[in-house]
């Protein structure tokens, strides 16, 4: 793999590499990147992997091979403290005691930090309500007009990046930079012609978030709050601007109230297709999940847009030359533009949809297919793009990932894991399980899980395809199993994983975020249970739009999208178990379709060569067997 990466970087061609768990793929792309002598952007899926590359892997290469290399990490701007906004926030009156105490912690840290990266403050809550009001996020940044532009933490981070050969970012930041360049709003990353994407199976989903225009009730509340704070610091403007802010708050509430009774995710378009009954050609859809749609009348937003425009123009009139007022006015203008784009829904390349979260509503316009913009903005403008992950192929083919990402020409390589899967793991797939949504499925699922937990003595991940299934199983297991139950959402993810590692016989229940990027080597994790094959819900607005586009191309939504996407997700979930040569355990897929449907063969042919059984007594014998020999 290292040779293939070096050749791609030197000879300027793209490369797609699937490298199984344990191959050492991180060093296999990092060493060639350093040896290339050119600036290379390395993009990872998570901040955790960013930190691992910077604090562990690069120092290892530097020390063992005596190589000179300059490197830095660059995170999304929301991670950095804004000195100006933190001062303005601290100057407010009537801060609560808890907020004031946390703010003192942050301001004390500000005097010591050289990076301004909030990740340095271990005791800072992951969900800190006022952090967006003091961070260096884009829509509040004054840029070069800011009095703190030179000592700005973000400016200094970018200066370090310009001086570094290896710049380590995450996918979110990379695509934020890509879309900023497209719209000529500036750039975040230094110019480069070489880029390596680790965990590249996540690229489509993350890229789609940045080919999106959106407006939300949160964004409006934040704008109005910032206007109010601006007025508080300029008493002469208070009476003339606060009323405008209040009017905008009222019209915003009235507008978003129209979506109060909608489902959590809904389309902002009339239905264009009638979904037929599921079969193996169209995929495992369910008629009970047909998504509600909202025909959104542009007139609904008239008063809302009028109030935004009024606030924007009055800010310019009442505070001419004031950088903060100018920034607020620009934000109001961008919100108005995004709102009009989403409400009118005139660009056929986008899917228009809404999402309700706790305390607020988002309305979005998202590119339904990102392959074309990625081809134009990424693969045609970089000399070498390298994609790697443990899960990129389907039955040995890379066609799915190449089509989804717009890769027209690239070298391909598949490197098998060095692990001895036949001796280290067994795949349990009972054939007589009732299919999901059939009577008795949840009762049998509970029975199978309880039996497997007794066999494994806990030490398990129970992975679910929905929060509803997780919640129901949690209520069924609570008080009925003799193992500590940990559940996603009870604590931040990193603390939950640490508690799992340290708690004997623990059982962790999780959904999507625990299917990938989680590493628990050793006996603490000896069983991974997956409740059903992870097909995406076909009536989710984004999935539904993808399927519509595939049908329009006269292709099979199931064969060309739903099945391969589910295969990659299943490979990720099962990949949580065997993380070293001495790991040993059982993978359980409690969905009979893996064995009874013809498409089950596609799943099995894409997985490592596990031993497969449908008998629980074989699972029991496996756990009684000897552990694999360590090398």
Please determine, for residue 627, whether its predicted confidence score (pLDDT) is greater than 90.
no
Identify the CATH assignment for 421-624 out of 3.60.40.10, 3.40.50.1220, 3.40.50.150, 3.40.50.300: 3.40.50.300
Q: Do domains 2-70+164-210+370-415 and 421-624 have the same CATH topology?
A: yes
106: how many CB neighbours lie within 10 A of its CB? Answer: 20
pLDDT tens for each residue of 152-201: 998 898 899 999 999 999 999 999 889 877 654 457 899 999 999 999 99
Please report where in the chains the tokens 């706790």 appear, as a residue: 358
Mean pLDDT lowest among 145-154, 267-276, 359-368, 548-557:
267-276
Report yes or no: 550 and 589 within 8 Å, Cβ to Cβ: no
Cα-Cα end-to-end distance for the chain: 22
pLDDT tens for each residue of 84-112: 889 988 888 788 888 999 999 999 999 99
Task: Return all residues near 139 (Cβ < 8 A) that are at least 6 apart.
Answer: 331, 334
Tell me what pLDDT residue 273 has.
39
Q: How far apart are CA 592 and CA 440, in angstroms?
A: 13
Please determine, for residue 127, whether its predicted confidence score (pLDDT) is greater than 90.
no
Q: How confident is the model at residue 425 (pLDDT cuts 50, 70, 90)?
A: very high
Tell me what pLDDT residue 631 has.
44
Question: Coil, helix or strand for 509?
Answer: strand
Instruction: Spell out a b/e string for 108-121, using b for 16 or more CB atoms within 10 Å of the CB, else e.
Output: ebeeebebbbbeeb
- Residue 42 β-bridge partners: 168, 196
Please determine, for residue 285, whether its predicted confidence score (pLDDT) is greater than 50.
no
Q: How far apart are CA 109 and CA 105, in angstroms?
A: 6
- Higher confidence at residue 131 or residue 387? 387
Question: Coil, helix or strand for 392?
Answer: coil
Report yes or no: 72 and 161 within 8 Å, Cβ to Cβ: yes
Q: What is the dihedral of CA 69, 42, 133, 206, to 10 degrees?
A: 180
Percent of the chain surpassing pLDDT 70: 94
Q: How far apart are CA 527 and CA 586, in angstroms?
A: 5
pLDDT tens for each residue of 467-495: 999 999 999 999 999 999 999 988 878 88
E-assigned strand segments in 464-562: 485-487, 507-510, 527-530
Listed by start position, the domains of the chain span: 2-70+164-210+370-415, 78-145, 213-259+294-367, 421-624
Tell me what pLDDT residue 123 has.
78
Please determine, for residue 290, whether its predicted confidence score (pLDDT) is greater than 50.
no
Mean per-residue pLDDT over the chain, rounded: 89
Please determine, for residue 287, whether its predicted confidence score (pLDDT) is greater than 60.
no
Please report where in the chains the tokens 């799992």 appear, as a residue: 500
CATH architecture, range 2-70+164-210+370-415 = 3-Layer(aba) Sandwich (3.40)
Q: Which two tokens stand for residue 293?
A: 């749609």
Q: How far apart are CA 341 and CA 252, in angstroms?
A: 17
pTM listed for this prediction: 0.88
Report yes or no: 464 and 573 within 8 Å, Cβ to Cβ: no
Please determine, for residue 289, whether its predicted confidence score (pLDDT) is greater than 90.
no
Q: Which two tokens stand for residue 105?
A: 């912690």
Q: How far apart are CA 107 and CA 83, in angstroms?
A: 9
Q: What kind and span of H or E run contains 414?
A: strand 411-415
Q: How far apart are CA 390 and CA 572, in angstroms?
A: 8
Please report where in the chains the tokens 């509803």 appear, as a residue: 468
Please report where in the chains the tokens 């975040």 appear, as a residue: 188
Q: Which two tokens stand for residue 126?
A: 């992951």
pLDDT tens for each residue of 565-610: 999 999 998 889 998 999 999 999 999 999 999 999 999 999 998 9
- Higher confidence at residue 301 or residue 183? 301
Tell me what pLDDT residue 318 has.
85
Q: What is the dihedral of CA 386, 390, 395, 398, to 10 degrees?
A: -10
State the average pLDDT over residues 394-400.
95
Q: How far apart are CA 154 and CA 316, in angstroms?
A: 27
């Amino acid at each position: 793999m290292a040779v293939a990466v070096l050749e791609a970087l030197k000879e300027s061609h793209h490369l797609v590499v699937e490298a199984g768990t344990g191959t050492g793929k991180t060093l296999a792309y990092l060493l060639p990147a350093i040896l290339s002598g050119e600036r290379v952007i390395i993009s990872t899926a998570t901040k955790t992997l960013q930190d691992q590359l910077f604090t562990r892997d690069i120092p290892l290469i530097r020390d063992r091979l005596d190589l000179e290399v300059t490197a830095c990490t660059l995170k999304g701007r929301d991670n950095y403290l804004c000195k100006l906004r933190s001062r303005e926030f601290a100057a407010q009156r009537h801060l609560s005691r808890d907020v004031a105490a946390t703010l003192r912690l942050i301001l004390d840290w500000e005097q010591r930090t050289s990076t301004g990266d909030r990740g340095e403050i271990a005791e800072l809550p992951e969900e800190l309500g006022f952090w967006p009001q003091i961070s260096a996020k884009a829509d509040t940044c004054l840029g070069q007009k800011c009095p703190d532009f030179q000592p700005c933490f973000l400016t200094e981070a970018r200066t370090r990046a310009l001086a570094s050969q290896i710049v380590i970012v995450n996918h979110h930041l990379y695509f934020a930079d890509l879309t900023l360049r497209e719209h000529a709003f500036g750039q975040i990353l230094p110019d480069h012609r070489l880029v390596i994407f680790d965990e590249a199976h996540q690229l489509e989903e993350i890229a789609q978030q940045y080919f999106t225009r959106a407006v939300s009730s949160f964004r409006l509340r934040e704008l109005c709050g910032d206007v109010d704070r601006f007025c508080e610091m300029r008493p002469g403007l208070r009476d003339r601007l606060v009323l405008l802010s209040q009017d905008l708050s009222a019209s915003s509430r009235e507008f978003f109230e129209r979506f109060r009774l909608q489902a959590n995710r809904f389309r902002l378009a009339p239905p264009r297709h009638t979904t037929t009954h599921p079969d193996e050609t169209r995929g495992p859809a369910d008629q009970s999940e047909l998504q509600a749609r909202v025909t959104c009348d542009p007139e609904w937003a008239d008063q809302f847009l009028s109030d935004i425009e009024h606030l924007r123009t009055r800010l310019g009139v009442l505070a001419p030359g004031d950088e903060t007022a100018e920034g607020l006015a620009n934000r109001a203008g961008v919100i108005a533009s995004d709102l009009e784009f989403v409400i009118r829904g005139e660009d056929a390349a986008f899917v228009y949809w809404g999402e309700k979260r706790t305390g607020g509503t988002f309305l979005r316009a998202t590119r339904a297919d990102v392959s074309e913009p990625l081809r134009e903005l990424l693969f045609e403008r970089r000399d070498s793009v390298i994609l790697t992950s443990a899960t990129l192929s389907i039955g040995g083919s890379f066609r799915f990932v190449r089509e989804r990402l717009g890769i027209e020409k690239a070298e391909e390589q598949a490197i098998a894991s060095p692990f001895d899967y036949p001796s280290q793991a067994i795949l349990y797939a009972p054939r007589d399980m009732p299919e999901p949504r059939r009577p008795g499925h949840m009762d049998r699922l509970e029975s199978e899980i309880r039996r497997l937990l007794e066999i494994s003595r806990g030490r398990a991940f129970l992975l679910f395809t929905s929060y509803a299934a997780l919640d129901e199983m949690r209520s069924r297991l609570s008080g009925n199993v003799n193992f500590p139950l940990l559940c996603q959402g009870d604590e931040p993810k990193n603390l939950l994983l640490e508690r799992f590692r340290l708690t004997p016989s623990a059982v962790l229940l999780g959904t999507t975020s625990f299917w990938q990027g989680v590493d628990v080597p050793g006996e603490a994790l000896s069983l991974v249970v997956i409740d059903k094959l992870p097909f995406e819900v076909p009536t989710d607005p984004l999935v539904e739009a993808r399927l519509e586009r595939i049908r329009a191309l006269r292709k099979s939504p199931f064969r060309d999208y739903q099945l391969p996407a589910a295969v990659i997700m299943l490979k990720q979930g099962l990949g949580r178990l065997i993380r070293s040569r001495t790991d040993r355990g059982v993978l359980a897929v409690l969905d009979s379709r893996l064995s009874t449907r013809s498409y089950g063969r596609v799943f099995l042919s894409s997985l490592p060569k596990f031993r497969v059984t449908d008998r629980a007594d074989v699972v029991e014998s496996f756990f009684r067997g000897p552990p694999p020999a360590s090398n």
